[in-house]
Structure 1
Amino acid sequence: MKTYKIIACILFSLMLFIGCKKDDAASQEEDNVFSPRIIGGDVPSIFPNPNTTQVLDVGEKVDFSQVQFSPTGKTTVVWKVDDVQVATGEKYIFTAAAVGDHRIKVEVSYNGTTVSRYKDVFVLAGAGATFTPKTFTKVTMSYLGENGDISAMNWSNVTHVTFKAGTVNAAGILDLSRGETGRKTQEIATKAHLNGVYALLGISATLSANGWNVYDSNTFGTALKNPVQRAAMVQDIKKYLTDRSLDGVDVLMADVGNTVEATTTANMAATILFINELRGALGAAKIITLTVPVNYTHSNYTAANLVNVDWVNVRAFESGLNTGVGRPLGNPSGYQYMVASAEIWKAKIPLSKLVIGIPAMGLRYTAVDANGNNLNFTSFNYIPYKDILALSATAFDKEKLDLTPAPLAIYYNGVPLVTQKAQYIKANNYLGAYLWQGDFDVNGPNSLTLAISNALK
């Protein structure tokens, strides 16, 4: 009997112990709120911070199966695409289907708390996909540099975009790697077409900081003067435009600044041959443009030898008058300089083939001489318009930003000057305007592209 009492006591104590443990666990969960977590796999790569967009082809998959959630087995997991629930549970594979931007989001809930992570993807259109161009009367073109940054692009403000993805290297070969990194060319072309905008490839030799060819460079010109290399480049461009669904090509200079004038003349003559051979290869359906100078070398181009271009982009900025040794500080891209540059070409070819350039960069002085003039060829640099606004939020309606010590300053084109230029372009019936570089602009009410678009309507 005594043995039974002992066993009964032991069982009763064990039950009390288990009950207390359960109560303790519940109490701990109540008293110590546990937030759900998204862990496991390569979370920083799957959900990058800062966020970067992954570019996908139709049918390509993103597998989230390696992602884990804590506390294990106790969370509620919901997957959404563009804020629409598409799945529940810990495992999910996204399959790219609809062309365009998409946001994949996972929401994890536990004990009344929800956390989330997201991943942005962009699904490309396939090669040969067609689009419907927007209706326009004037060309408003954003000319992107080699980085092809479209993060601030408002597609409603442009009719055309050109991406300077091609560079002729020292071997005379067209290097298109800038456009292939991250499938940037395809992304730009697809986004442009989704918005009814034409997308062009820009090609050049290595450019200087102000967007012109490096002085005395001859790599592009040498390649164009070689019939075999020129023919190969034509075919490379034709294939690239087809493969990447691009609507045309701009030839951004062909080494037109050389110490030996005969070299410049020969390079420009070879450029004309190149343009003509491009037209023969591409046919009438593709756009062919040429970015042209306004200095004395422009005389090498005439209406007759430019018959195969749809239009020319007139580089009507950066006069060069404010960057030499002992030159006065000032704006190299003022209103009068643009007008004079445009009228040089107005006298040569029809207005319907002239798109006038406007800069989205400023000239920043870093040192001056005893007279307050530019010190030398290394005492200035170029700064994007967006960086100028980062220095001063009120700089958008000005043309000069004073620096310390005086008289150091940045000279640039703000919204009022750009508007004035675009109004001149419209009033005088030019085909339109382009902004170099479009990457340097901002989105919103202080956008230079917006100012151009509004003035040209």
Structure 2
Amino acid sequence: MKKIKLLIYALFAVALFFGCKENEVAQQEKDYDYVPRIIGGDIASIFPTPNATQVLEPGEIITFNTLQFTPAGKVQVLWKVNDKQVATGEKYAFTATAAGDYRIKVEATYNGTTVSRFKDVFVLAAAGTAFTPKSYTKVVMSYLGENGDISNMNWNNVTHVTFKAGLINAAGLLDVSKGETGRKSQEIVTKAHLAGVPVLLGISATLSANGWNIYDSNTFGSALKNATQRTALAQAVKDYLALRNMDGVDVMMADVGNTVEATTTANMAATITFINELRNALGTSKIITLTVPVNYTHSNYTAASLTNVNWVHVRAFESGLNTGTGKPLGNPSGYDYMVSSANVWKAKLPLNKIVVGIPAMGLRYTAVDANGNNASFTSFNYIAYKDILALYPTAFDKEKVDLTPAPLAIYFNGVPLVTQKANFIKTSDFLGAYIWQGDFDVSGNNSLTQAVYNTLK
């Protein structure tokens, strides 16, 4: 009997102990606010920080099945896509369907507190998806460089986009690796087409920092003068436009700056032959444009010879007048230079075939000679408009930022000058304007592209 009583006392003590323990846990949960956690939410491959958009093909699936949530078993987990609840529970799978931007967000809530993580994805359009181009009266072209940065692009402010993703390499072949890296060409085309904006493939040989072919180079020109390579290039362009659903091509700076003038002339003549072959290969539905220099206007480039181009891009965004040794400091493309450049081509082509270039880059001088002029070919560099505003946020309405010591400065096109240029283009009835490079611009009210668009529309 004594042993039974001892056993009862022991069991009572154990029950009392665990009862006290449960009461203690309950009291702790009452007294202390536990913050819910998403374990694995700091893994960059799941939720990138800073956030980066992942590009998906239609039908691709992203699974979220390795996350853990604490306090375990007590957290309410919700999944949202573009702020609309789509699932509950600790696991979720997102399937890419319709083209567009999506934000996948997970929320973990416990005891009135919510924490969250998100992942941005962009779903590409299916191959061959049709679109309806927006209507326009004047061309406003954003000419993107080889990196194709569209983070500051406002698609409402452009009628066309060119992506300089095509490189004519030393073998005379079309290299489109810049467009294929990260599915960049597909991303640009899908986003542009969703906004009704046609996309052109820009092709060139290697360019210098100011968008001119490397002086005295002949890579592109040699390929165009070789009938076999020229025909192969036309076919390669046709194939890539079809593969990536692009709407045309811009032939840019086909080695027109050479020490031997006869080489320049021959390259220009071969460019015309190439454009004619492109038109035969592409038919009438695709846009073909040609970027032309201001100071090489040989008889090769005439209204008769350019019947197969929809328009020309006049490279009026950089004069070269302020970059040589001993040259005066100044704007890469002032108002008078742009006007004279446009008028050179006005004398050669109909107005409705001329789109004039405007720079979104500035000249930054780092040294001057005893006369206050540019010291050498290494005493200046080019700086993107967006980088100028990052350094000097109030410079959007200026054309110059003074540096130390004087007279060092940055010269560029601000919003007022660009608006003045756009007014000239509009009143003179040119076809439109393009920004080089579009990825040098900013978004918002200080955007140069927006200034052009608002003036020309």
Q: Give me the TM-score of the superposition, normalised by structure 1.
A: 0.98
State how far apart, in whole Å, the 2-side matches of 1:369 and 1:169 are: 38
Partner of 1:124: 124
1:302–1:348 Cα contact (<8 Å) kept: yes
The alignment status of 1:274 with 2:274, answered yes or no, reads yes
1:235–1:281 Cα contact (<8 Å) kept: yes
1:41–1:66 Cα contact (<8 Å) kept: no
The alignment status of 1:321 with 2:321, answered yes or no, reads yes
Partner of 2:99: 99
1:400–1:409 Cα contact (<8 Å) kept: yes
Partner of 1:67: 67
**SS of equivalent to 2:44:** helix
Mapping for residues 32-431 of structure 1, pairs under 5 Å: 32-40=32-40, 43-431=43-431
**Change over 3 Å in CA distance of 1:389–1:298 after alignment to 2:** farther
2:317–2:436 Cα contact (<8 Å) kept: no
The alignment status of 1:21 with 2:11, answered yes or no, reads no
State how far apart, in whole Å, the 2-side matches of 1:26 and 1:44 are: 36
State how far apart, in whole Å, the 2-side matches of 1:241 and 1:123 are: 20
Once the two structures are overlaid, the 10-residue window that deviates more, 24-33 or 205-214, is: 24-33
Which deviations, in whole Å up to 9, do the C-alpha atoms of 1:329-361 show, x marking residues without a partner?
111300000000000000001001000000000
Partner of 1:3: 3
**Change over 3 Å in CA distance of 1:79–1:41 after alignment to 2:** closer
- Quote how far apart the aligned CAs of 1:39 are: 2.0
- Quote how far apart the aligned CAs of 1:424 are: 0.3
**SS of equivalent to 1:44:** coil
- Quote how far apart the aligned CAs of 1:302 are: 1.1
1:139–1:432 Cα contact (<8 Å) kept: yes
Q: Identity rate of aligned residues, in percent?
A: 74
The alignment status of 1:442 with 2:442, answered yes or no, reads yes
1:43–1:67 Cα contact (<8 Å) kept: no
Partner of 2:31: 31
Which amino acid is 1:289 matched to? T
State how far apart, in whole Å, the 1-side matches of 2:434 and 2:327 are: 28
State how far apart, in whole Å, the 2-side matches of 1:367 and 1:311 are: 39
**SS of equivalent to 2:147:** coil
State how far apart, in whole Å, the 2-side matches of 1:110 and 1:340 are: 68
Which amino acid is 1:377 matched to? F
2:255–2:264 Cα contact (<8 Å) kept: yes
Which amino acid is 2:188 matched to? I
2:332–2:362 Cα contact (<8 Å) kept: no
Which deviations, in whole Å up to 9, do the C-alpha atoms of 1:369-394 show, x marking residues without a partner?
11111010000000000011111111
- Quote how far apart the aligned CAs of 1:298 are: 4.5
2:166–2:176 Cα contact (<8 Å) kept: yes
State how far apart, in whole Å, the 2-side matches of 1:165 and 1:359 are: 19
State how far apart, in whole Å, the 2-side matches of 1:78 and 1:341 are: 59
RMSD: 1.3
Which amino acid is 1:155 matched to? W
State how far apart, in whole Å, the 2-side matches of 1:4 and 1:61 are: 64
- Quote how far apart the aligned CAs of 1:25 are: 1.8
Q: Give me the TM-score of the superposition, normalised by structure 2.
A: 0.98
State how far apart, in whole Å, the 1-side matches of 2:29 and 2:363 are: 62
State how far apart, in whole Å, the 1-side matches of 2:13 and 2:365 are: 86
2:65–2:90 Cα contact (<8 Å) kept: yes
State how far apart, in whole Å, the 2-side matches of 1:130 and 1:199 are: 13
Which amino acid is 1:362 matched to? G
- Quote how far apart the aligned CAs of 1:297 are: 4.4
1:314–1:342 Cα contact (<8 Å) kept: yes
Structure 1 unaligned regions, length at least 5: none
Once the two structures are overlaid, the 10-residue window that deviates more, 192-201 or 37-46, is: 37-46
- Quote how far apart the aligned CAs of 1:209 are: 0.5
**Change over 3 Å in CA distance of 1:416–1:299 after alignment to 2:** farther
State how far apart, in whole Å, the 2-side matches of 1:119 and 1:89 are: 17
- Quote how far apart the aligned CAs of 1:322 are: 0.7
State how far apart, in whole Å, the 2-side matches of 1:72 and 1:277 are: 67
**Change over 3 Å in CA distance of 1:70–1:298 after alignment to 2:** farther
**SS of equivalent to 1:102:** strand
**SS of equivalent to 2:45:** helix
State how far apart, in whole Å, the 2-side matches of 1:41 and 1:453 are: 42
Which deviations, in whole Å up to 9, do the C-alpha atoms of 1:185-208 show, x marking residues without a partner?
111111111111111111111110
State how far apart, in whole Å, the 2-side matches of 1:142 and 1:321 are: 24
**Change over 3 Å in CA distance of 1:234–1:243 after alignment to 2:** same
Which amino acid is 2:107 matched to? E
State how far apart, in whole Å, the 2-side matches of 1:41 and 1:368 are: 53
- Quote how far apart the aligned CAs of 1:4 are: 3.3
2:41–2:47 Cα contact (<8 Å) kept: no
1:127–1:242 Cα contact (<8 Å) kept: no
State how far apart, in whole Å, the 1-side matches of 2:353 and 2:235 are: 25
Once the two structures are overlaid, the 10-residue window that deviates more, 158-167 or 72-81, is: 72-81
1:256–1:297 Cα contact (<8 Å) kept: no
State how far apart, in whole Å, the 2-side matches of 1:193 and 1:325 are: 45
Moved segments of 4+, more than 4 Å: none
Once the two structures are overlaid, the 10-residue window that deviates more, 333-342 or 45-54, is: 45-54
State how far apart, in whole Å, the 2-side matches of 1:296 and 1:151 are: 35
Structure 2 unaligned regions, length at least 5: none
Q: How many residues align?
A: 457
**SS of equivalent to 2:14:** helix
State how far apart, in whole Å, the 2-side matches of 1:11 and 1:131 are: 78
Which deviations, in whole Å up to 9, do the C-alpha atoms of 1:88-130 show, x marking residues without a partner?
1111110011111111111111222211111111111112111
Which amino acid is 1:366 matched to? T
